Chains A and B, each alone.
Chain A
Amino acid sequence: MSRAPLFALALALALAAPAFAAPADDPITPAPTAKDWQALAQRPDWSGSWFPVISDQFAQVTSNPVPWKPEVQKQIDHWDAEEKAGRPRGLLLDCLPHGVPSFYLITHNSIEILQTPGRVTILGESDGNRLVRIWTDGRKAPADPDPSFHGYNIGTWQADTLAVSTTAILPQTWLAVSEAVGIAIGEGAHVEQKFHLIGPDTLAVDLTITAPAVLTKPWETRRLFTRKRARSYEIVEGVCRQGDFEETTDQWGNPAWSPLAQSADGNVLAPPAK
């Protein structure tokens, strides 16, 4: 039997099969109108750079401990003891994102908040200039969004407060109290945040963290950021792995990188004696 008819049939089927293209349900976001841009002027002014109140991050955890489940508390106690003993577990050594909620809980670097029609965008500096995109255009979260480190963020304005609901957080994302103590947030987590000014230059982020895999009840905690307008506070490039390398030249004399000596827990080592 000749194979030609079969080949022709297969080719016809292949050509007739629907190509991967735009999804069937793919709403169009309309271009913003002049009114949309004008509406932004009514929002609270969150311009400038926002520096975390790092000392308060620790105070919040001490005064309002995380309601870990007993079996999780044992793990936390272990990592806490390891940190105190000088053997910190490097939650961020792999340079993966802090993710939500640790993006707010433990950052040591400035953030910037951009307001444009239909969205609020938070730019981070630490470990790779992450961004959190908060949709304020009235949409609902998709039924089954791809899980991500920063989740799917829906924002609604309640007077001068931006209320954000974050879902679809990757279960491996840290729920961290420091750079060395935390636990994966687990399945089914969601995080509510309320962003609002509590002073002319003080932004509060009130978080309600629901993480049924690791918490006995939702953990309500606050993080503070202070506004800076000096240019030195503008966020800069924050490439997490840059410190893993040193400048060199390749065999053709081009500028290049080569790995740097580091210890197992991530601090640089002095170059070997020559």
Chain B
Amino acid sequence: MLKKILSASALAATLALSAPSLAHHSFAMFDQGKVVNLRGTVSGYRWVNPHVSLFVEVQDGPAKHGVWAVELTSPGNLTRLGWSRQSLKVGDKVDVEVNPLRDGALGGGFRKATILSTGQVLQARLVEIEKPG
């Protein structure tokens, strides 16, 4: 039995070591030709490299209901666009525009968010910070 456990552990370790890390990726899995509007509640906001992520729980409206995982650019670039790790907090009611995942899963690439209590609009267009100065 112990041998089986050890073998299983070894297999798990091998798989863990051989699995690719899944961090920095292209955004092409998001359909740039489609926009989905999410109205919901922030259930998570992770300020981490290489992509900040936002989780929005959608319970109403035409978008699929459930928790959507929304990806953004890096914390460094979002800082340059005026964001911070305090920009959103769990429980915020928001409208979020995303380019949805092409495979239909509940996820998307971030386009714009509006915090409903304040009307504040958050965008993340890197082209806006390309100019000198």
Contact = CB atoms under 8 A, between A and B. Distances in A.
Interface in A50-67: 51-56
Contacts of B44: 271
A270 B80 contact: no
Given A86-B29, A267-B69, A95 B77 contact: no
B66 interface: yes
Interface of B is mostly: loop
Interface string B78-117: 0110000000000000000000011101110000000000
A146 interface: no
B26 A270 contact: no
Nearest to B73: A108
B4 interface: no
Interface residues of B, number: 45
Nearest to B67: A270
Given A109-B76, A125-B76, A238-B49, A180 B69 contact: no
Contact of A93 (B21, B55, B73, B74): B21
A252 to B, nearest CB: 21
Contacts, number: 164
Interface in A63-105: 83-84, 86-95
B107 A269 contact: yes
A241 interface: yes
A240 B23 contact: yes
Interface in B42-59: 44, 46, 48-51, 53, 55
Say which size band chain A's interface belongs to. 35 or more
Q: Interface of chain A, helix or strand or loop or mixed?
A: loop
A269 B79 contact: no
Contacts of B21: 93-95, 240-241, 244
A228 B133 contact: yes
A86 B20 contact: no
B83 to A, nearest CB: 10
Interface of A: 51-56, 83-84, 86-95, 108-110, 125-127, 178-180, 199-202, 226-230, 232-233, 235-244, 246, 262-271, 273
Please provide the 4 A-B residue pairs with the shortest distance between their CB atoms, ordered closest to farther: A266-B25, A201-B132, A88-B26, A86-B102
Given A226-B132, A271-B44, 9 more contacts: A83-B28, A88-B27, A179-B25, A240-B21, A240-B23, A242-B50, A262-B22, A268-B46, A269-B107
